[in-house]
Amino acid sequence: MNALSVLIVVGVLGLNLWASVLLLRSRHYSAAQKAAQLAIIWALPLIGAIVVWFVMREPSGGSVNADPGETHLRQRGVTWGDYSDHPGGDDVGH
């Protein structure tokens, strides 16, 4: 193997390890989901790691460990203090 081949193999292994660690540290997946995603990472080197990383990414730019309930509300445009649909008006809690 030449130096370029070694560099590519080390890079792919590093990416797979990085994606595996991110997945294992995540609190949003069950053990079965983590096992399935780990299988994808290691069965499809490079492609599997990239696919799992994209699945784990937060679509709104938040962190992977964000509170899922808060993320759900934020994606719907609701913010803390947005009580416009409350019968008392916008000044609820103020």
In a domain? residue 46:
yes
Average pLDDT in the 33-42 region?
91
Who has greater pLDDT, 66 or 30?
30
CA gap 49, 39 in Å, rounded: 10
- Please name which of 26, 28, 52 lies closest in space to residue 38, comparing C-alpha atoms: 52
At residue 74, does pLDDT exceed 90? no
- Which residue range forms the structural domain that includes residue 62? 3-75
Residue with tokens 């989901």: 33
Tally of domains in the chain: 1
pLDDT on residue 46: 83
> What would the two tokens of residue 15 be?
């990416």
Q: Is residue 16 part of a domain?
A: yes
85 against 16, higher pLDDT:
16
Residue 55 lies in a domain: yes
pTM of the model: 0.55
